[in-house]
Amino acid sequence: MHGRLKVKSTAQQEEQKRQEREKKLKIFVAVRDACFSKRKEGIWDDEALKLTQQVLSSNPDFATLWNYRKEILMHQETVKEKDEVQTIYGAELSFLESCLQTNPKSYGSWYHRGWVSSRMPKPDWARELTLCDRCLSLDERNFHCWDYRRMVVKMSGVSVDQELAFTDRLIGSNFSNYSSWHYRSTLLPLLHPESPEPPSPCLKPAQTSPPPSPQTHSHRVCEEQLLKEYELVQNAFFTDPNDQSAWFYYRWLLGRAEREDMISCVYVSRDEERVAVAFSRPVNAQSVGLLLVLDGQPQRVEWRSVHPRFKHSPLWICDLPPGTISDISYEHNLTVHWTEKHIHRDCALYTGRTESYCRDSAMDQELFRSELSVEKTSVLQSELQSCNQLQELEPLNKWCSLTIILLMRALDPLGYEKEMLAHFQTLREVDSMRSAYYSDLCSKFMIENTILKMEYAEVRVFSISDKNLTTLCHLDQLLLVTHINLSSNQLQRLPPQFAMLQCLEVLEADNNSIENLEGLYHLPKLEEVLLKNNKISTLADLQPLASCPKLKRLDLRGNPVTQIANVESELAELLPAVKDLLL
């Protein structure tokens, strides 16, 4: 019958494939060996280029051979004319293109391409950019390509607004692409920097933008552009509220300005002849050039953190030479210099006073409100409205609830406290896998609120009982607190940072789950510790208390440790100064 087709059987096909593979392997090994021996002999000729090309085209991740090729090419540079070199590099680029086609995520090929492009006498950056865009259109998350593209953009000086348009395009085709959003976040501050005070509309941003430097708050974006970005990102999260890319970008947009470096508090105590200095961020006092001047005289003092564990700490203390300030009838003037930053803070210790401090309060620093840097309140208000709108439609969306909390905190942390707690409750329910995270975050916000309340009341008493605290934070802000009440929470430990409460006299922490007292370390004024109904189980756990010289009263009722035999005598030995012990 009319030429009927016969199709090879599977066995035939398999056999043929196997033979082909074997043949390929033989060739591969032979060529590889040839390359190695040539390299050993130091031959950098065209044949070597051909041989390595053969191997690399089937395995582009052969780093040794790429290096060999680099050697060859560098050698060619020395012996050939410039035009020829250009041609050779051009050929290298087309070869690399074929390698990238086989494996678009080959480290070797991309790296080599970068090397070739930067060495080429006359690189064609436009072509490279097109290549990148093509690769990204096939796989928008190819980070090799993103990396290479960054290099190309830098080398060829593509304008920032062109790049912003590029991210527009990528986000338009698929907004679940954090690479593009992130790239956007690096471009916007360059294109639309936050205008200096007083705010002026950012016209012609590209021309007038000052060169970005780490000193200026260059990662901020001017308000006009911010509004556009809010709109863009809202479109994304309303379209798909479960896509985290948009939410992360939104958080960046709402994000906080970095706090300025400053000495936030200087505290001096006559009794202990001690100075404590609090910084706006953790520093290493030994290396930042901290200088203490007392009554005009620079002092040689030893700075130490509150706990040996901290090399970086927001709080540093030093002891003055004995007798320097102990006479209560003298007035003293202290200055602490942060020489590295040309910052200093003065503090006067008046006659008759046993202690003194000088500081900016959390309110002065807009500490917790600046968690989301304060744009115009109305803008944040309308953002909150649209999030609430989304929340109504998507009551179970965690990103939305979380963002609402952040917006509320930016607007009015105390006023929204009740709503915030409700949202946290929702979050723990809808995202139970992360309930501990939400509890910690909620603890943090509650502590911030309590600090604010304390500051408004201008007292040195910090009371936060029965708030389901699971963790303690912002302890550096509690340097001056004399009385702390943490009763009826869910704390498991007093962390080493607790030792920053240098003025603490009374600690109430009944009804928690505390097992560890690490943070009660060298607290010079601590007299009373109430730890009823906790989970302290061994005498060793109580060891840190021995370092607190003034401890008089200790309540350990309802702790497992009280069940130990001879506990009384053991404790008397461990803490001889404690007169009032409740077991």
Partner 1 sequence: MAAEELPSEFDVVILGTGLVESVVAAACSRVGQRVLHLDRRSYYAANWASFTFNGLLTWIQQHHEESQSEEVQDRSSLLEEGEELIYLCNSDSASISNLQVFCYTRETHEEEEEEAPTPDPDPVDTTEVETSADGDNGVKETSETVSADSKEKETKDEASDEKEEEQSQAPHTDGEEPETAQPQPPTAPSQSEPVRKKISYTHLVKEGRRFNIDLVSKLMFSRGSLVDLLIKSNVSRYAEFKNITRILTYRNGNTEQVPCSRADVFASRQLSVVEKRKLMRFLTSCVEETEEQQVYNGRPYLEFLRDQHLGDNLQHFLLHSIAMVTEDTPTEVGLTSTRHFLRSLGRYGNTPFLFPVYGLGEIPQCFCRMCAVFGGIYCLRHSVQCLLVDKNTNRCKGVIDSRGQRISCSHFVVEDGFVSAERKKVATPPRSISRAVLITDASILPSDSDQQVSMVTVPPIAAGSPSVTMVELCSATMTCAPGTYLVHLTCQSVGSAHEDLSPVVTRMFHTSESHDQDERPSVLWCLYFNMADGSAAQVEGHDLPSNVHMCSGPDGGLGHEHAITQAQSIFDKILPQEDFCPPAPNPEDIIYTEEETKKEGVEEEEEKETTKEGEEEEEEEKTNEEEKETKKEKEEEEEEEETKPLKEE
Q: Which residues bind partner 1 (CB under 8 A)?
A: 1-8, 13, 138-139, 172-176, 234-236, 238-241, 386, 389-390, 393-394
- Residue of 441, 491, 493, 437 lying closest to 468 (CA atoms): 491
Question: Measured from the CB of residue 208, what is the shortest distance to partner 1 in angstroms?
Answer: 30
Residue indicated by tokens 């009804």: 511
Beta carbon nearer to partner 1, 231 or 429: 231
Question: Measured from the CB of residue 174, what is the shortest distance to partner 1 in angstroms?
Answer: 6
Instruction: List the beta strands (DSSP E) in 134-270.
Output: 263-269
Helix (H) or strand (E) holding 17: helix 10-40
Beta carbon nearer to partner 1, 355 or 394: 394
Residues contacting residue 123 through CB under 8 Å, at least 6 positions apart: 117, 155, 156
Question: Measured from the CB of residue 356, what is the shortest distance to partner 1 in angstroms?
Answer: 55
Give the Cα separation of 291 and 338 in Å (integer).
7
Question: Measured from the CB of residue 252, what is the shortest distance to partner 1 in angstroms?
Answer: 18
Beta carbon nearer to partner 1, 104 or 524: 104
> For residues 44 and 71, is the Cβ–Cβ distance under 8 A?
yes
Give residue 431's Cα distance to chain centre.
Answer: 23
Question: Measured from the CB of residue 192, what is the shortest distance to partner 1 in angstroms?
Answer: 22
Q: Collapse the DSSP code of 562 into the 3-class scheme (helix H, G, I; strand E, B; otherwise coil) and give the result.
A: helix
Beta carbon nearer to partner 1, 20 or 340: 20
DSSP string, 113-165: HHHHHHH-SS--HHHHHHHHHHHHHH-TT-HHHHHHHHHHHHHHT--HHHHHH
Beta carbon nearer to partner 1, 233 or 556: 233
Beta carbon nearer to partner 1, 286 or 388: 388
Question: Measured from the CB of residue 49, what is the shortest distance to partner 1 in angstroms?
Answer: 22
Question: Measured from the CB of residue 170, what is the shortest distance to partner 1 in angstroms?
Answer: 11
Question: Measured from the CB of residue 410, what is the shortest distance to partner 1 in angstroms?
Answer: 20
Question: Measured from the CB of residue 2, what is the shortest distance to partner 1 in angstroms?
Answer: 6
Beta carbon nearer to partner 1, 387 or 475: 387
Beta carbon nearer to partner 1, 247 or 521: 247
What SS3 string covers 390-452? HHHHCCCCHHHHHHHHHHHHHHCCCCCHHHHHHHHHHHHHHCHHHHHHHHHHHHHHHHHHHHH
Residues contacting residue 487 through CB under 8 Å, at least 6 positions apart: 465, 466, 508, 509, 510, 511, 512, 530
Work out the burial of residue 563: count CB atoms within 10 Å of its CB; fewer than 13 is exposed, 13-18 middle, 19 or more buried.
exposed
Beta carbon nearer to partner 1, 354 or 389: 389
